[in-house]
Amino acid sequence: MVRKSPAPRQTTGPVDARQATEAAFAYFFTLFPKRVQLTTEGYVAHGVPSGRSFANALERAEPSLEEIEMSKDERFWLVTIGYNQRRPRNENLPKFLEVPMRKLKVFKVDAATGRVLSMKIPKDE
């Protein structure tokens, strides 16, 4: 049986860019709960358990706001969230030189209600 995560609470009334961004991030975290991880600084501040390595902390997704714009008809906010994704291991490179791929997701948020309507991968990716 597939277990669905609850959708984040949507706002009512016109939303600004900040509210649209908050709605997009809340939706991102419900879709990808494993992407919500502590950053390297978080591991250092909270103390890394002996079983976890510094390299493991660097593999975190670290989602961040990349871009936000209103659609031409001013009905939607288009919120782009970027996150890191681990690359396949290259045996020719030392581990410390491996750099994660940056992935993007574009969330379409209704400007009147704050409801997230869709999530897409940008066309140029």
Q: Where are the domains of the chain?
A: 17-120
Task: Give per-residue pLDDT as tens, 25-34.
Answer: 999 988 887 6
Note the pLDDT of residue 1: 52
Instruction: Render the burial of 45-64: b for 16+ CB within 10 Å, e for the rest.
Output: eeebeeeeeeeebbebbbbe
Residue 28, both tokens: 């991102």
Confidence at 12, pLDDT banded by 50, 70, 90: low
Task: Give per-residue pLDDT as tens, 38-55.
Answer: 444 444 443 444 444 444
DSSP conformation class of 17: H
Distance CA 2, CA 125 (A): 29
**Bridge pairing between strands 64-70 and 76-85:** antiparallel
Q: Is the pTM of this model over 0.85?
A: no
